[in-house]
Structure 1
Amino acid sequence: MRVILKWLLRAAGGLAALALVAVLIAYVLLARSLPDYDKRLTVEGLSAPVEIVRDNANVPHVFGASDADTFFGLGYAHAQDRLWQMTMMRRTAQGRLSEVFGARTVRIDTTLRRFDLYNLARASVAAQDAATLAALKAYSDGVNARLTEINREALGRGAPEQFLFNAPVAPWQPADSIALIKLMAVQLSGHLGEEVLRARTSLALDNETRLADILPDAPGGGIAALPDYAALFPGAQFASAGDAGPTGHPLSPFKARAFAGASNAWAAAPGRAASGGTLLANDPHLGFSAPGIWYLARLELETGGVIGGTIPGIPAILTGRNARLGWGLTSSYLDDQDVFIERLNPDDPNQYLTPEGWKPFRTVRSIVEVKDADPVTLTLRWTGNGPVLPGSHYDLGEVTPQGHVAAVGWTALSREDTTMTAAMRLMRAGSVEEALESTQLFVAPAQNLTLADESGIALRLIGAMPRRHARHESEGRMPSRGWIPENRWQGMLPATANPEFVDPTGGILGNTNNKIVDRPFPMHVSHHWGDTQRIHRWRQLMQRREVHTRDSFIEAQLDTVSFTARSLLPLIGADLWFTGEAAPEGTPERLRQRALELLADWNGEMNEHLPEPLIYAAWVRALMARLIEDDLGPLARKFDHPEPVFIERVFRDVDGASEWCDIRQSAARETCTDIARMALDDALIWISERYGRSLESLRWGDAHQATQDHQVLGEVPLLRYFVNIRQSTSGGDNTLMRGRTRGGAGPDPFHNVHGAGYRGVYDFADPDSSVFITSTGQSGHFLSRHYDDLAQLWRRGEYIPMSLDAGLARAAAVGVTVLEPTAR
């Protein structure tokens, strides 16, 4: 027995030693791809040496003798830190993820192939001006110089993920950068899904007047009555699709309607700033990941220095400042998509009906290569209105009558997309006036651009606006019949039609994705807006001060008070507060009373350390489900976040909206107080099962963790603890410091999955006191100390300096890379 035990111990020790050796070998291989930031390197494609100075936050300050050399340096720096991220985004735009990840990404690839984004990007290269073409070429050369270095010096394939996935990296091309802008348009455009949802809800409701409750218009102006969707197709049968499309995979750019883009930006004129200079704050909101989407950089151009947030793969500062101008972006919610229902020729399904009669589809065959599986062959079809999508995408089958197909019109599907040129010109602009002039070339994604120069401020919607006919049958709010001339786009409106606000009288302007204009259709901009709640809190914070400072703008960015909680709780709890005698301890009634007592003393602050935000969030989530499930059935799952305006309409009984409170299947007629009480009990049962019955010990932050997870390694056992960045956070769905929750019926509905991955505040009275931060770190390499070194600063609401002073960057540099041209 002793001999057996001895050999078992020796075997265990040997296995442990082998495991340790394997770990060491893996570490050495993975560590080879860690970039060396302090070196000299000879490369092809430069006219003069380029210096890349990395400050102590690993922000590269790129100094070149010409603009082309500077963009070369940015391409090299992007590829040093984010090569895997760049190549995965390119594969996504190309519809080629399945070559690496197999069958689980086929739906993403086939959908993107149908939009044909990459070929449209290639066609758009010729539409750029000469300066932009030179920048794209130089940037691509910089990326490829890093690829050459990796191959020549065997630098661990450039990224740890390359050891786990067979993902050969092709040289970078100018079209790749344009394709990534189009990919951002996919993430930020949600009107297609909104149209389908409105049509499906119209079909599901017995009382059509209730559509204005569940999908309410943003307050501030009336909308003409819409047709009943079923009335557009009399007698038609609608198939059940059963699949909403490729929104669930971490690499998917297709987002559910709750995540179609959000952001904050505001500016103050000199008369409203304590320092006497303009102020600008911006925090764009996107889905969280590790690494994050944003990458900080400073470029020294011939027009001067520019610093701010870039997206790896795109050679432009998309939000930031130069010495004389600052700019920020927010999602505009411009209605830039329409669904067209096309009638098929019953005698020839290869034809569709147009105002001029039957026409053949334009068709192309496309093959999607799939790892470890047979390739998928697609027949791509286009009508005059846009690409045809299958009924299984976006739930289109639910609203497409038999004998018809659905096509999509979208401004991003342009073969002459000059958005890249516009972004390049914006970086070089020295005044609000110059910046506004450059924005006329923006196509997609449509954004609200907030500007501040040394003396003025402005806000302008940038992006192409479809020209719709005044007699469009659904005003672009629901799918429409594609063969009716009045439903088809009449081209694009001139850029002068885009709303803009320059130097307002009050000296303050801003946007939280709220409704910005109230113009009649077809000049309306949009019927669907991204915010009806945060704007109220922003207005309060801006108006409570006569003058603002950089710090007051930071305070607003980090504000976690929920206007929504403050306005809804008195409504839904009106008949529940302090009623009846105290219930016995341990009963559901006592737990409900204690929850109401806590909420009664709460000021609406969604602080991570408090229990009240969790009780409130669970209550309104349960309330939303109670109100709609019996009316909408399975469709209720599409409304996976509480809709504040809907709940307010119901509890104020606007136009009879309290009808939602009655449960259809019960004999009794329930009141809204009944539903509020039952929903609170539902919420408390869920909380008790998940977190225990001690309400005072609850922490919102335990449920509201920011889930900055690696998109492909984030679910790998053990490895996920090294690659994922999880943090307890404050804020919520409707706070200025927005932390959009996951929603839905999963185990973690309140995880923080969408928020400000970048924050910047710029003070033009003292530009070098400007600050910024991102939510993770500069490096995409999980063994790098710069993978998550900014994450805790971001969580605590701290910032790092935004300076164009080259001396400051060099004073605390973590490394200086010098790229030298080859001898001629």
Structure 2
Amino acid sequence: MSRSKTRNEWFRNKLLVACTAMAFALPAAAQSLSAPGMSAPGRISWDAEGIPTIDAANDNDAAFLQGYAHARDRFFQMDLTRRSVSGTLAELVGASQLSSDVQARNLGLRRGAVKTWAQMSDDSRGWLRAYADGVNFWLSTNPLPPEYGALLLTHADPWTPVDSLCVGKGLAFQLSFDLDIDPTINLGAYQQAGQAGGFDGSILYFGDTHRIAPADDRVTVPGFQPGVASATASASPAPKLETPHDAPAVGSISAETIDMARAFREQIQASPLLGRALEGRDTPIGSNEWVIAGSKTASGKPILSNDPHLGLDLPSVFMEQHLLSRDTRYPTSMDVTGVTVPGAPGVIQGCNQRVCWGTTTNSLDVTDVFQESLRLNSYGLPYAIVHDGQEETLQWVFQNYYVNRLNG
């Protein structure tokens, strides 16, 4: 079976089980909850559209009930997300995702989540524990979502606070990681073509087809910017522009490097976590937000609009909730409504009684790729890499991978 077919079948099956779950997730009227770990009874009520309102005695109880509500409607999605980030997806869906698990563990976002957990304050850890307790209370008192039956599974791992941190790190990673390995492959192809055709492929690449010129303070519309001469004006000479001969000295990219880059690209293109990073600048990510003042609206109240430009998934990335906390530690109660991320407590975009907020991101180059040489010991096993002529000792991390073979 080809990789593309395997990936298509995986996402088609994901869509099917997601639609099945939506058919079973019917709105309920209200539910009062009292459970171990809660300081006082709380209440969750759902409106006609299935949006829950959570009413709790304090912030930790609100997190508990939020975890319960998330698990009720989105636990399978939460399980998929934490496993994609942690590198345990094959345990759930089968061998088709084993290679993705290897790449996710190499990346190490879960190892980073464990370190983050160790550095958090007691208050933050208590909040995350309360959320996990709410998820697990739902798991202990309800049957698993129908997707698990389709996967021939009768058990789901309990939720942990580190799982919530993995959800957050996975979302942040997908908004920032850019694997610009294609330019390396393309530049190598230009150089190879230049060697065969008798021209400098690097100059063609940087000076023509992928030219990046320095800033030019001229403008093409006269008077568009006061005090700045137009491109047709003769008041000031045009700044010297970069010539093709000023192309950066990148050196020749070897055929071995190009082959390794292509092989790595092939390895990760089917990964749910890493595949989107390969789209690079051809499909740039971003987001936007804007505000209209109350003086410009019929109601006299300002309007905040925010589009985070996240992917259109089913189920969606967000879930709307209304949180009420009557925590006596604070002078006013928490009353916030907005969208949440299933798997993590809090409201990421929304409004309270005083302010509204959104989120936005900007595409930045945060990723570098290195070709490293290994030093091998007498057993033929690597013990170090060579960077800038210096050996850097490798740290071995032993991993166990498990696969749901019944679903394979």
TM-score by length of 2: 0.72
Tell me the SS of whatever aligns to 1:329.
coil
AA in 2 matched with 1:78: H
Q: Kindly tell me: are residues 236 and 361 of structure 1, through their superposed partners in 2, closer, same or farther at Cα, counting changes over 3 Å?
A: farther
Q: Kindly tell me: are residues 35 and 279 of structure 1, through their superposed partners in 2, closer, same or farther at Cα, counting changes over 3 Å?
A: closer
Aligned residue among 308, 322, 341 for 1:298: 322
AA in 1 matched with 2:268: P
Cα shift readout 1:24-75 (whole Å, capped 9, x = no counterpart) = xxxxx99888675534444221111211122222211111111111111111
Q: Which residue of 2 aligns with 1:320?
A: 350
Asked whether the 8 Å contact 1:79–1:146 carries over to 2, the reply is yes
Q: Distance in 1 between matches of 2:211 and 2:351?
A: 37
Are 2:288 and 1:264 aligned? yes
Q: Which residue of 2 aligns with 1:139?
A: 131
Are 2:308 and 1:289 aligned? no
> What is the CA distance between 1:121 and its match in structure 2?
0.8
Q: Which residue of 1 aligns with 2:330?
A: none
Are 2:209 and 1:176 aligned? no
Q: Which residue of 2 aligns with 1:60?
A: 52
Q: Distance in 1 between matches of 2:258 and 2:185?
A: 12
Tell me the SS of whatever aligns to 2:336.
strand
Aligned residue among 134, 144, 148 for 1:162: 148
AA in 1 matched with 2:151: F
Q: Which residue of 2 aligns with 1:485?
A: none
Pairing 1:115-134 to 2, within 5 Å after superposition: 115-134=107-126
Tell me the SS of whatever aligns to 2:60.
helix
Q: Kindly tell me: are residues 129 and 204 of structure 1, through their superposed partners in 2, closer, same or farther at Cα, counting changes over 3 Å?
A: same
Are 2:388 and 1:339 aligned? no
Are 2:111 and 1:87 aligned? no
Q: Which residue of 2 aligns with 1:238?
A: 257
Tell me the SS of whatever aligns to 2:308.
strand
AA in 1 matched with 2:275: F
Asked whether the 8 Å contact 1:106–1:370 carries over to 2, the reply is yes
Q: Which residue of 2 aligns with 1:108?
A: 100
Q: Distance in 2 between matches of 1:48 and 1:221?
A: 65
AA in 1 matched with 2:315: P
Q: Kindly tell me: are residues 277 and 38 of structure 1, through their superposed partners in 2, closer, same or farther at Cα, counting changes over 3 Å?
A: closer
Are 2:315 and 1:329 aligned? no
Q: Kindly tell me: are residues 237 and 79 of structure 1, through their superposed partners in 2, closer, same or farther at Cα, counting changes over 3 Å?
A: closer
> What is the CA distance between 1:172 and its match in structure 2?
1.1
Asked whether the 8 Å contact 2:86–2:110 carries over to 1, the reply is yes
Q: Kindly tell me: are residues 130 and 356 of structure 1, through their superposed partners in 2, closer, same or farther at Cα, counting changes over 3 Å?
A: farther
> What is the CA distance between 1:210 and its match in structure 2?
4.2
Asked whether the 8 Å contact 1:186–1:253 carries over to 2, the reply is no
> What is the CA distance between 1:170 and its match in structure 2?
1.5
Aligned residue among 184, 188, 213 for 1:203: 188
Q: Distance in 1 between matches of 2:118 and 2:48?
A: 39
Q: Which residue of 2 aligns with 1:280?
A: 304
Q: Kindly tell me: are residues 105 and 37 of structure 1, through their superposed partners in 2, closer, same or farther at Cα, counting changes over 3 Å?
A: farther
Q: Distance in 1 between matches of 2:267 and 2:211?
A: 25
Tell me the SS of whatever aligns to 1:281.
strand
**Which of the pair is proportionally richer in strand?**
1
Cα shift readout 1:772-824 (whole Å, capped 9, x = no counterpart) = xxxxxxxxxxxxxxxxxxxxxxxxxxxxxxxxxxxxxxxxxxxxxxxxxxxxx
Q: Distance in 2 between matches of 1:253 and 1:347?
A: 32
Asked whether the 8 Å contact 2:31–2:45 carries over to 1, the reply is no
- % identical aligned pairs: 30
Aligned residue among 321, 326, 350 for 2:383: 350
> What is the CA distance between 1:177 and its match in structure 2?
0.5
> What is the CA distance between 1:245 and its match in structure 2?
2.9
Pairing 1:541-560 to 2, within 5 Å after superposition: none
Tell me the SS of whatever aligns to 2:359.
strand
Tell me the SS of whatever aligns to 1:364.
coil
Q: Kindly tell me: are residues 65 and 42 of structure 1, through their superposed partners in 2, closer, same or farther at Cα, counting changes over 3 Å?
A: closer
Asked whether the 8 Å contact 2:30–2:43 carries over to 1, the reply is no
Q: Distance in 2 between matches of 1:322 and 1:169?
A: 35
Asked whether the 8 Å contact 2:374–2:386 carries over to 1, the reply is yes
AA in 2 matched with 1:329: T
Q: Distance in 2 between matches of 1:299 and 1:31?
A: 25
Asked whether the 8 Å contact 1:186–1:254 carries over to 2, the reply is no
Cα shift readout 1:192-225 (whole Å, capped 9, x = no counterpart) = x22x122222212244344356556599679996
AA in 2 matched with 1:164: A
Q: Distance in 2 between matches of 1:219 and 1:283?
A: 32
> What is the CA distance between 1:119 and its match in structure 2?
2.2
Cα shift readout 1:260-303 (whole Å, capped 9, x = no counterpart) = 63322123456776766543210122222221111001112445
Aligned residue among 229, 248, 251 for 2:270: 248
Pairing 1:737-776 to 2, within 5 Å after superposition: none
Q: Distance in 1 between matches of 2:216 and 2:295?
A: 31
Tell me the SS of whatever aligns to 2:396.
strand
> What is the CA distance between 1:355 and its match in structure 2?
5.0
Q: Kindly tell me: are residues 101 and 221 of structure 1, through their superposed partners in 2, closer, same or farther at Cα, counting changes over 3 Å?
A: farther
List gaps (5 residues or longer) in structure 2: 1-20, 195-200, 218-240, 328-332
> What is the CA distance between 1:187 and its match in structure 2?
2.0
Q: CA RMSD in A?
A: 3.4
Q: Distance in 2 between matches of 1:247 and 1:299?
A: 39
AA in 1 matched with 2:324: E
Tell me the SS of whatever aligns to 1:84.
helix
TM-score by length of 1: 0.37
Are 2:348 and 1:361 aligned? no
Tell me the SS of whatever aligns to 1:53.
strand
